[in-house]
Amino acid sequence: MLDFKQLFDFFMIVNLCNRTMIQRLLFFCLLGYHATVGAAGMGLADARHLLARTGFGPTWPEVREFAALSRTEGIDRLLTASRVQAVTPPPAWVAVCPPPVALRDLSLQEQQRRQQVKREQGRELRVWWLTEMRDTPTPLTERMTLFWHNHFTSALPKVSSPVLMYRQNVLLRHHALGRFDVLLHEIAKDPAMLIYLDGAVNRKRRPNENFAREVMELFTLGEGYYREADVKDAARAFTGWSLDRETGEFCFRPAWHDGGTKTILGQTGRFDGDAVLDILLAQPETAARVVRKLWREFISLQPDEAEVKRIAEEFRKQRYEIKVALRCLLNSPAFWAPAHRGVLVKSPLDFVIGLQRQLDLKTLEQNQVAQRAAQLGQSVFAPPNVKGWPGGEAWLDSRALLLRRQIVRQWSMARRPRKPLAQNLDFAIKPWIRQFESADWREAAQRLLLPLPPLRQPAAILSPIEIVQALLLDPVYQLK
């Protein structure tokens, strides 16, 4: 049961997220939370803000490095350094796609064994991706891969193939900062997506509308910009898109395809699935919806519609180049405005990956990290439904806040001299302090860990580990 202090923390987080612009400007001025800004660089506060929004918990060396760059230089470095492949080696089994076997053809023992193997592979897959989020040299790549994973949602429980979910993750990473139009066409033919939204069983005599509906409602236009008749004819256009059960690859089955005339968004023709996607991409609402969602990811939960329209027009003009949209968003006055700092709640993955990165907890078992993230409401490869994780303040209820505080206390335990190193939950406080190279390491630590001043300033008489824990337990640490 939560005590008064924990309830106070919960309500303060909500209050911080909902401050008006004037309140937040006064908050900054009154508390004097100003970073030193170099003549040629953006300074520590701006660097931390940029890295916190585009990655998972910036480290002090990263903040120092970016502080010397201008805002434009920092953004350009993030975008040009993005990768298309993970640096963490995947599990060996990802190279093998097991042939399909109907469960009814297996004995009960064989069925149980197969399910056990799938569970273990799913665990290894989650550990692999969380390790990549922690260790990647380009956190923006993984943040965008996660963004698209939550936009083009598929889930392992229904797909029931860790291999196909891995391949989809590779696809999302490859196009994470590429072109949205190319990604849309590729994900529509992705085998995991075909299974998740029933495209693999979509045929002309029994059209399945699941993918057609979600590609309009969630992936492109949004509600209110299409009719039921559009969904029905689009479903006919996607018939025949299936997968080879032996290889797990996409295949087209002509005998299943409805080649008749369809009318979609006022256009009539013998459209196939690719033609439907091109029609959706030609609509201004598609670019606006993607930009609006990116705004909520990187700036605030209340998009500026005039800015959304401006950026969306440039996004379409530049052939849906994702880097173009991101560069516009990150260079916008809204991104850098004091009113938009510390207004986003950290997702469970922001929280657990960021805590590891900022405390340099490299020996922490990623399986335990994955379990903690799932307990907090975010299990990778298993979003709750086709709409993905809701995000925002939904991440924090009283139970989640209590669990986050427990995780902080467990992971930030100081290392004791005689404690064996095998106890890998320990936080090495002395080397961590030395990284700041400053007599006033407390101020530097506060700037690193918090996007705003703490609600409760740690007392000077506290030990170093108690000061760090006090900052991590402050409600402001739950924000970015």
Rounded (10°) CA dihedral 423, 424, 425, 427: 110
Q: What is the model's pLDDT at position 35?
A: 39
Backbone angles phi, psi at 44, to 5 degrees: -65, -45
- pLDDT recorded at residue 3: 53
Tens digits of residue pLDDT in 247-289: 889 999 999 999 999 999 999 999 999 999 999 999 999 999 9
Nearest 10 degrees: CA dihedral of 59, 45, 142, 474?
Answer: 70
List, for residues 367-405, the tens digit of each pLDDT value.
999 999 999 999 999 999 999 999 999 999 999 999 999
CB atoms within 10 A of CB 179: 17
Diameter of the chain measured on Cα atoms: 78
Q: In 281-431, which ranges are E strands?
A: 413-414, 426-427
Handedness of CA 158, 228, 301, 402 (dihedral sign): negative
Please give the pLDDT value at position 9: 59
Question: Tell me, what's the pLDDT at 27?
Answer: 40
CB neighbour class for 211 (10 Å; exposed up to 12, middle 13-18, buried from 19): buried
Q: Rounded to an integer, what distance in angstroms lies between the CA atom of residue 41 and that of residue 69?
A: 4
pLDDT at 247: 87
Domain map (residue ranges) of the chain: 4-71+343-478, 92-281, 284-340
Q: How far apart are CA 202 and CA 258, in angstroms?
A: 10
Stretches in the chain below the pLDDT threshold 50: 1-2, 4, 7-8, 20-39, 417-424
Compute how many other C-beta atoms are within 10 angstroms of the C-beta atom of residue 240.
21
Here the tokens at position 352 are 């657990």
Question: Which phi and psi angles does 267 have, rounded to 5°?
Answer: -105, 140
- CA dist 61 and 407 (Å) reads 24
The letter for the amino acid at 269 is G
Please answer whether residues 242 and 206 qualify as being in contact, where contact means their C-beta atoms are separated by less than 8 angstroms. no
Token duo for residue 127: 């550990």
* Four-CA torsion 340, 343, 347, 353, nearest 10 degrees: 70
